[in-house]
Structure 1
């Protein structure tokens, strides 16, 4: 299990960071993901990859955390500091705009796009996670990209 943690913890944390927008929550849920994986290792049958299995656990833990969270309780945020404060703010603002568009997508488009783009899962792994075909994963990812592109181009045209 230690080898699995060393190999996949970064990917799981990146996935959870993209889902939650909070590195603190992602770190906490990453630890919980591996704890749950240890508890249920006997149920891992190898029909999907370890990374797919771990992302599935992480996704369910994130959903549970969102359900338990009080509506008025904000998620913790990273506050930029240091010499490049302004640069970080600009990058963060641009990232927030992109994330707003991403979060406006309906499921499964948002999650497939996140898994493929930010977690670097291939279409076979995504298909396993959703219990769908690889072509379903490819089409869903393509459509998600198209929806994001159209939304961002529409916003750019509105500002001009």
Structure 2
């Protein structure tokens, strides 16, 4: 299986900045009672929230519920959103808290059975039978080997596409810490890619 090159930030050569401006404007309009803006806001960010929750969540059955919970929390808190950060960073912070709260709630209850790890949640959340799907799963396998904090920083900046400053806000840490975590994650993944390619070269 050929494993794709590590993804680069979506900030380069795309319209992420314009999208963030639009979603932030929609959030502010939704705060004022614009129902159309609410729909635009949810549609624009649903995929990012779903993907991020899937990366964090250990229970694939809970991903949809947690994504929905995120939006319910966000819509209930719109009156406090002032647009100081992008609506996407604000929403992903809420998603992170929703997942953490779900862990706390689960920890307080007796476990009836083991649940799959976070990789299973991501695999189930992705469209299947599409070109590159198997390669994407291979990359997720590599991501599983990273420490949680480095994987979180890598996912936020390289897969979800948040600027480093907003990823730092979501992760509640300094920007320099996010940059360091991403750099170390990329170095580790490159080493793992090299190790993965060696058996294929030897076989050839």
- TM-score, scaled to structure 2: 0.60
Q: 2:186 aligns with which of 136, 145, 149?
A: 145
| Correspondence for 1:106 | 147
Q: Does the CA-based 8 Å contact 2:90-2:170 persist in structure 1?
A: yes
Moved more, 47-56 or 113-122: 47-56
Query: What is the CA deviation profile of residues 31-90 of structure 1, one whole-angstrom value per residue up to 9, with x for unaligned ones?
Result: 11011123333454554332112111112222344552844244676499xxx95x77x8
**Larger Rg, first or second structure (1 or 2):** 2
**Partner-residue secondary structure (3-state), 2:144:** helix
Q: 1:40 aligns with which of 63, 77, 95?
A: 77
Query: What is the CA deviation profile of residues 3-52 of structure 1, one whole-angstrom value per residue up to 9, with x for unaligned ones?
Result: 43233222212222343488764332221101112333345455433211
Q: How many residues align?
A: 155
Q: Does the CA-based 8 Å contact 2:51-2:125 persist in structure 1?
A: no
Q: Does the CA-based 8 Å contact 1:115-1:121 persist in structure 2?
A: yes
* 2:41 corresponds to 1:4: yes
- Unaligned 5+ runs, structure 1: none
Q: How many Å separate the matches in 2 of 1:49 and 1:78?
A: 28
Q: How many Å separate the matches in 2 of 1:18 and 1:131?
A: 18
* 2:99 corresponds to 1:62: yes
| Correspondence for 2:138 | 97
Cα drift, residue 158 of structure 1: 5.1
**Partner-residue secondary structure (3-state), 2:162:** coil
- TM-score, scaled to structure 1: 0.73
Cα drift, residue 102 of structure 1: 0.5
Q: How many Å separate the matches in 2 of 1:65 and 1:157?
A: 41
